[in-house]
Amino acid sequence: MPARKIVVTSGKGGVGKTTVCCNLGVQLAQRGSRVVVADMDFGLNNADVALGVENRALYDILDAVEGRCRPKQALVQHPRCPQLYVLPSGRTLERYISPQAVRLVLDSLASQFDYILIDSPAGIEEGFHRAAACAEEALLVTTPHISALRDADRVAGMLKSYKFTRVGLVVNRVRKDLFRRGETLSPAAIADLLRLPLAGVVAEEDKVQLENVVYRSRAFRALAEACERGTAGRLA
């Protein structure tokens, strides 16, 4: 079977989208799947930095799109997690890259992997639509903060316009003490508000430095298990 292509997105920057994407990739790879983290955030392009392989990249996704290398040559294998590969992005003006061109690159890799996790730019601009057009499933990342929820609601509405087989919600940086005191919404309440199934919850104390790739995070392990079972937001 070809790889499941899952776009990981958010309404605003700074909510931990890349952290979730990279750690989910680590957990799936540690469980035996062959995984690509494809960085399609051309503005920030830091998935390779987050995973500590930025000095190993010879090519990037733009090189593959423009034919300077084969798609497989642009992949960077993680030295401590050999089932995990990164497809770095290049700093370029986004308007020069079409969704169709990127999809061709990802599709050429799909038969060799189990998952392609697409790190999307935040928001609902052109970069988001390019990333979403390359995927069949989606994970929306937010924090419990009001500003993040407002932006996440806009993205949730946009995701529903795509024909995804599954869409799930990941609530990051959750503090139980705050929602128990009513200072923030609970993850379940956020899922109800955004009208999306809850796929994962990451506690504030689970924050990690990705340069030291994480292998034991309960939250990301649970999210990986949900993805494997296909329960991360099945749509009717």
* pLDDT in the model for residue 228: 82
How many Cβ atoms sit within 10 Å of the Cβ of residue 106?
Answer: 23
Q: Say how far apart CA 81 and CA 196 lie, in whole Å.
A: 32
Q: Give the model's pLDDT for residue 153.
A: 96
Q: List, in order of start, the domains of the chain with CATH numbers.
A: 4-229 (3.40.50.300)
pLDDT at 90: 72
First to last CA, the chain: 22
- pLDDT of the residue at 217: 67
Strand pairing partners for 63? none
Per-residue confidence in pLDDT tens, the chain, 236 aa: 889 999 999 999 989 899 899 999 999 999 999 999 999 988 777 888 888 888 888 999 989 998 999 999 999 999 989 999 999 987 665 556 888 999 999 999 999 999 999 999 999 898 899 999 999 999 999 999 999 999 999 999 999 899 899 999 999 988 888 878 878 899 999 999 999 999 999 887 644 444 444 445 677 888 888 888 875 554 32
- DSSP assigned state of 234: B
Task: Evaluate if pTM is beyond 0.85.
Answer: yes
> How many other β-carbons are positioned within 10 Å of the β-carbon of residue 34?
17
Q: Which alpha helices (DSSP H) does the chain contain, by range? A: 17-30, 47-50, 61-65, 99-110, 126-133, 146-159, 176-180, 187-194, 218-229
Q: Helix 218-229 to helix 17-30 angle, to the nearest 10 degrees?
A: 70
Residue 146 vs residues 122, 125, 168: alpha-carbon distances, Å: 16, 21, 19
Q: What is the pLDDT of residue 212?
A: 44
Facing residues of 171 across strands?
A: 142, 201
